[in-house]
Amino acid sequence: MLDDATRERVLTALLVGQRHSWEQGVTAAVLEQTGRAAALRVLVDDAVARQLPDGRLAELDPACAVNSAAVGLFVERLAAGDPGLAAAAARQRAWVLTGAPRAADGTLFHLLGSREVWADTVHMVVPYLASLGEAAAAVAQLDGHRARLRDPRTGLWSARWDEDSGTLADARAWGTGNGWVAAGLARAVRELPGRAGTAAAAEVHELLDACLRLRRPDGLFGDVLDEPARPADTDVASMLAWAALLGATEGWLPARYGEVGEDLLGSVVGCLDALGRVTGASAAPHFDRPGHSPEAQAFLLLADSAHRSWRAR
């Protein structure tokens, strides 16, 4: 879908931008998926250099409780035979498993100083825990987040739940929130054994279908999925494209989702500017207007890589 020159521009725009811990996580995924082992090692070493004493890797914002797990997944993968990485990975693991704040049932809160459960956390911790072999913990996080945030009527996920009031703090179905869930579970499917993997695949399938019903005539999705007057957010299409293409390639989604993912990817490629930036994404760092973001760059590259794998199958 992307030619080599365009792909390099998109990657360059990703690498030169300032990034938070979760953005380091999706950047690491791009580097791994595109075979850039040396660059991935540099990123991992930097994540360790910026690890907080409590174990959170690459964390520049002390309020973020769980986002460091997104890059922790890649520190774990490179830790074998390296005592320094192994120790850093163990500190991150202990933080997620026991140190991070959570509800009485164990469901993690997204921020320190706030007892809120966020949809975004699914992407940060479920594939991370699954990759550690902590399948029961991964499933427990998925179950806790689903029970609080998924609307059974629509199949969409609300953004935030307030544990103290027992109500939704933000009931809106943000596009990127649902994208984080779809992408995180898509990454976790292959790591979860047996019924757990099958259930995660079914969750992705249902969420993709719920989102696709709200796709706009231009091929994109709203920043709030079910509010037509809201602006589009191009990143959502990339996130869903990656989940669809990965599922079709790995065989846990019906084959037709490869074509769905290809079409979604094409809608985003048409939004690139001359510098290789994805336009019309929810803009970093505050995500309060259309613009550019590292995660939009990363998910386009992930979807493009998955598209090439799907084409080559």
DSSP letters, 244-272, are HHHHHHHTSS-THHHHHHHHHHHHHHTTB
At the topology level, CATH places domain 4-308 in: Glycosyltransferase (1.50.10)
Closest CA to 158 of 172, 145, 147: 172
Per-residue model confidence (pLDDT) at position 313:
87
Each residue's pLDDT tens digit, 42-58:
999 999 999 999 999 99
Per-residue pLDDT of the chain (313 residues; tens, 9 = 90+): 899 999 999 999 999 999 999 999 999 999 999 999 999 999 999 999 999 999 999 999 999 999 999 999 999 999 999 999 999 999 999 999 999 999 999 999 999 999 999 999 999 999 999 999 999 999 999 999 999 999 999 999 999 999 999 999 999 999 999 999 999 999 999 999 999 999 999 999 999 999 999 999 999 999 999 999 999 999 999 999 999 999 999 999 999 999 999 999 999 999 999 999 999 999 999 888 999 999 999 999 999 999 999 999 8
Contact in structure between 120 and 110 (CB atoms under 8 Å):
yes
- Tally of CB atoms within 10 A around 173: 24
Q: In this structure, what are the phi and psi dihedrals at residue 44, rounded to the nearest 5 degrees?
A: -65, -45
C-alpha span between 92 and 90 (Å, rounded): 5
The one-letter code for the residue type at 136 is A
Burial class (CB in 10 A: 0-12, 13-18, 19+), 132: buried
Q: Are strands 116-118 and 160-162 parallel, antiparallel or unpaired?
A: antiparallel
C-alpha span between 311 and 299 (Å, rounded): 18
- Measured at the CA of 238, the angle between CA 240 and CA 7, to 5 degrees, comes to 145
Both tokens assigned to 258: 């490869």
The one-letter code for the residue type at 284 is A
Angle subtended by helix axes 294-312 and 234-250, to nearest 10:
30
H runs (alpha helix) in the chain = 4-16, 21-33, 37-49, 69-78, 83-94, 120-131, 135-149, 175-189, 194-212, 234-250, 256-269, 294-312
C-alpha span between 215 and 170 (Å, rounded): 22
Per-residue model confidence (pLDDT) at position 1:
87
The alpha carbon dihedral of 167, 172, 173, 176 has a sign of negative
* Cα 173 from chain centre: 16
